Chain A
């Protein structure tokens, strides 16, 4: 009789297998997606070239990759920290928007300050807003043991409507009538950091956060404790780790980092808040963190790779008439394939 169950036996996999996993996953993903490319009437190899190689050959495109990687590094770091601590924060999207709203608000009032003061104030405001938006699900989790997956998810929708209400109400542009907030003060706008590219100060913020994530996870007692909680919550409690306090801190810091992604998009790209500020960076952050194995180096590689594909998709849509949504499909397929490949290489499968 056929059963649907499979039995997994844990096997240690050699180093070269583990090193090859990302490449295998990318190859499988591109093979699967080439079906769609052929449907679109294009040559899969030409599209793969546009997505993976072409952006690296031009200076401006290389800059765009860093610009596009900036929000992904931040949401990826936010999600990686939370997931590593066993706190499944699906709410980075809402926390990002909270940070963006705070930046758009603070940014209107700091015109008299020098950038050296205005930018830190705005960044702090965005971090606090993201953390505050993460607070309700976090409190429900540690005080009432309410699972955070659904509550953080629902908070995203609520924040989406709050942003919409702000933009259609008090922040509607009085001149044009467009639903966009007033432009933030010049002193609050992130400076460009690489000449002749659009790379802005937000990339430095993201780099600092990722380094901090690495340091926290690998070099601090707090990081050790949160990873212990992520691995085995009851065991951590037994060892005397204050699980609730650590988890609350993890949730709030994660929310704060996601908030920084919103600050960076407002202050580095748009200079005002719009409803379409984030095409789902909070959710992409979950892909980045998962692909990056919940660790800082992995988050960097995953964010840069997804940014490369997104930038490549821009050219591919122009040159080869491939819908830009190809990038979204690739990201999602890569996530699922990577998860499956990771599992299959770690285990030997038998029929149960």
Chain B
């Protein structure tokens, strides 16, 4: 299968040496009708408009990839390059790599005790270069974008994705167009603008921004990471699952709880565990995945809980803006993964989100953004309702740093005491505590 990119053919040569790397990418395929598609900047099937996904040669991959080969790789997500859509001809130096990935997986005994869990772990993705898991997907997407000949990156975002695209594009010397809602908090705007993209604030509702950016994505030959590069972009989330297994000494946990926006991260963690099992890198055993949403934008959890599996678009209204995706592209597939593995989904109020953030910070010293609060609060419900067994090994994915959403906790935390600068004032305040 050959893909025409700017008039030249990009021929997959999976299983053959390409400089220092091997690519196992065979092409793209529709997840709905299985119709194949050529490698290129496309994300939906031309026949049925279903989503495209990357197809790999797993037989060749299994023969080449081992725990040792992965351990010999760099201390970043690119240690799993053989399991990612690095296109033929992509050398290590071609990667758009700020060092994302290989983030800490830490035991969380104090939070576990508070939630009633014996063996809780946190996947701390707040420490990525732009402080969220989006660095994983953007690093992969822009690496593919450069290989496909793009010199301009783009995205539409309410924060994390904008930060990450702007940062990675700057690092790669690519032009960047970043679209944000005009009413986005100043901190989030500045955290993207500092990298020097063309940052366009769009007035209107989220629907208006979506509509405009969909039109722009179809009109300009840009690498719109979550549109025309989505099949490749989404694969970056698999590295969360790969890392969890490797950091647990190549075993799978019993249960992973992940926040859901589009639903893609949860789907890809499940896919990662399946691939590791298929490749013989972990012992075959059951695992479960469960999803977390904010009640103010819970189209996937609602469809799971009402039993229909039918994801109806909603208009988001929640403090968890990083999860405020009213029309989630992977909702159906997230429900499928959760049902297949025996997991569940929960959604929580904004008050519970903030309490979840506080609980995580006060028990484990980890300040997560609102999505982390959603995950912790949903996990609490999953335990309380018996959907998570207290003795299970559970990994909760903490996807972004709390400094991005300070406003969420501004009204509920602050100085314990405000005193005049005298020792007696201090003593009085403490004694009254």
Please say whether chains A and B are actual partners in one complex.
Answer: no
Q: Which residues of B contact A (CB under 8 A)?
A: none
A interface, CB within 8 angstroms of B? none
